[in-house]
Amino acid sequence: MNQLKTPYYMCEESLLRKNLELLDYVQRQSGAKIILALKGFAMWSTFPLVKQYLKGCTSSGLHEALLAREEFAKDNKNLEVHTYSPAYKDEDIDEIARISDHIVFNSPNQLFKYATRVKEINRHVSLSLRINPEQSSSPKDIYNPCGLYSRLGTTLANFDERVLEHIDGLNFHALCEQDVDALEDVLEVFEAKFSKYFKNMKYINFGGGHHITKKGYDVEKLIGVIKEFKAKYNVDVYLEPGEAVGWQTGTLVSSVLDIVHNGMDIAILDTSAEAHMPDTLAMPYRAMVRGSGEAGEKRYTYRFGGNTCLAGDIMGDYSFEEPLHVGDKVIFEDQIHYTFVKNTTFNGIKLPSLVILREDETVDVIKEFGYQDYKGRLS
Ligand SMILES: *Cc1c(COP(=O)(O)O)cnc(C)c1O
């Protein structure tokens, strides 16, 4: 591993399998179907493993749906491709209809516009409407689909009963890194507003944001909530986590390029918070670094900055027992979800390679990036 060129993301298959086994336990005990939200984790070289457990993928539009069909659900009728977009375009919808098993519409308008057309192309496709239950305790506005003026989902006031002749299901997505209590709060409001329509439905999709694989998540309670819901309304239940699939399954490994001093010691790394760990700035949160403490906790404190010209491209301040040197590796923990799916080539900085640590301990560099990946997006 010491010979690998940094930066790289390394996904550990054994950790991924551990998450998948827990998610599968939830499926088997509760009867829910769990599908992967590609938005959060789309390292498709791991899909041969993922599809041993999960029932399909949910995609946010044509490109993710194509990936789901090609790399996950190819030639297997038991694996499902679900597609949801805040709004579909004429130029995409026919192909989406051909490759999707479920199409979820964001508004009655969009549903009326496309329902007949997609059914003519694919009479097996199941249609659903995304509901905005207007109840969420999401920790951050940027991740709150039920916040003030949210465009995501149909509120009760905007619900048009004429949708009922087209749909088999209802979706909501209202959580972000949350526990079962938050789900129960959403369900209470969702049921109070919409349960009168459940008798027309084959399934209810509880969206993502369930932090099932996080230590301390009450898995047994979730199973109970799902079983009760299924029994009460006689519907199938879907969950579509992204983060919980990739949660703590690997690292972003970088190298120290230089150490400069300006009021404090600052290490410049061959990666970037802005380009390679975007949620650390968007959420924001402080990524853990292996072997480090808080600033000042251990003897030598450094600020970590990215190798871009953005002043705010800072990962945070970290301390170590031993001084850092140029060439040392810095390992950011838990950098597999919402990282490479969001990366940019800002500043022309090289994209981190994608590496899989297989269960037999072999290391596969599955993708390396270079100048063409930068140039190819420009003209
Ligand atoms: C983002 C998203 C998900 C996945 O959310 P996680 O927080 O990664 O579990 C699922 N469904 C929808 C509609 C989403 O937008």
pLDDT in tens, 88-122: 999 999 999 999 999 999 999 999 999 999 999 99
Residue 4 belongs to a domain:
no
- The CATH number of residue 83's host domain is 3.20.20.10
Residue 303 belongs to a domain:
yes
Number of domains in the chain: 2
282 shares a domain with 136 = no
Range of the domain at 332: 247-375
Stretch 338-354: mean pLDDT: 97
Residue 153 belongs to a domain:
yes
202 shares a domain with 179 = yes
Query: Which percentage of the chain shows pLDDT scores above 70?
Result: 100
Query: Using CA atoms, how far apart are residues 51 and 24, in angstroms rounded to an integer?
Result: 11
206 shares a domain with 258 = no
Per-residue confidence at 167, pLDDT binned at 50, 70, 90?
very high
254 shares a domain with 241 = no
118-139: pLDDT as tens digits: 999 999 999 999 999 999 888 7
19 shares a domain with 157 = yes
- Cβ-based neighbour number of residue 160 at 10 Å: 13
Residue 129 belongs to a domain:
yes
Q: What is the pLDDT of residue 139?
A: 76
Query: Using CA atoms, how far apart are residues 378 and 274, in angstroms rounded to an integer?
Result: 19
Residue 8 belongs to a domain:
no
Q: DSSP letters of 98-112?
A: HH-SEEEESSHHHHH
Stretch 194-209: mean pLDDT: 98
314 shares a domain with 208 = no
279 shares a domain with 150 = no
Query: Using CA atoms, how far apart are residues 94 and 27, in angstroms rounded to an integer?
Result: 32
* pLDDT higher than threshold 90 for residue 304: yes
Per-residue confidence at 2, pLDDT binned at 50, 70, 90?
confident
309-320: pLDDT as tens digits: 999 999 999 999
What atom in ligand 1 is closest to the CA of residue 211? 9
Nearest CA to ligand 1 atom 2: 208
Residue 42 belongs to a domain:
yes
* pLDDT higher than threshold 90 for residue 1: no
- The CATH number of residue 349's host domain is 2.40.37.10
- Cβ-based neighbour number of residue 117 at 10 Å: 12
Cis amide leading into 7 (omega within 30)? yes
Domain boundary among 201, 230, 246: 246
> How many Cα atoms occupy the beta-carbon half-sphere of 29 within 13 Å?
14
Q: DSSP letters of 137-206?
A: --SSGGG-TTSTT--SSB-GGG--GGGGGT-SEEE----SSB-HHHHHHHHHHHHHHHGGGGGG-SEEE-
Whether 205 contacts 172, CB under 8 Å = yes
The mean-pLDDT minimum among 82-86, 87-91, 142-146, 214-218 falls in: 142-146
Distance between Cα 209 and ligand 1 center (Å): 6
Residue found under tokens 């690997």:
250
175 shares a domain with 93 = yes
Find the helix or strand (DSSP H, E) in which 115 lies.
helix 108-121
Residue type, 43: M
41, 240, 249, best to mutate for ligand 1 pocket (most atoms within 8 Å of CB): 240
Spatial CA neighbour of 44 closest among 64, 28, 27, 25: 64
Find the helix or strand (DSSP H, E) in which 11 lies.
strand 8-12
Q: What is the pLDDT of residue 102?
A: 98
Distance between Cα 210 and ligand 1 center (Å): 9
| Average pLDDT score, the chain | 97
270 shares a domain with 133 = no
Distances in Å between the Cα of 75 and the Cα atoms of 42, 52, 127, 176, 379 are 19, 14, 22, 33, 37
255 shares a domain with 214 = no
Three-state DSSP string of 257-325: EEEEECCCEEEEECCCHHHHCHHHHHCCCCCCECCCECCCCCCEEEEEECCCCCCCCEEEEEEECCCCC
Residue 3 belongs to a domain:
no
- Residue 79 carries which DSSP code? S
What residues have CB less than 8 Å from 70, skipping those under 6 apart? none
* pLDDT higher than threshold 80 for residue 179: yes
205 shares a domain with 180 = yes
216 shares a domain with 321 = no
Query: Using CA atoms, how far apart are residues 217 and 197, in angstroms rounded to an integer?
Result: 31
Distance between Cα 308 and ligand 1 center (Å): 30
Residue 5 belongs to a domain:
no
Q: What is the pLDDT of residue 219?
A: 98
Rg of the chain over all Cα atoms, to the nearest angstrom:
22
Who lines ligand 1 at CB under 6 A? 37, 39-40, 58, 84, 173, 176, 207-209, 240-244
Nearest CA to ligand 1 atom 10: 208
Domain boundary among 223, 246, 269: 246
* pLDDT higher than threshold 80 for residue 247: yes
Q: What is the pLDDT of residue 140?
A: 84
Residue type, 129: L
Domain boundary among 224, 246, 268: 246
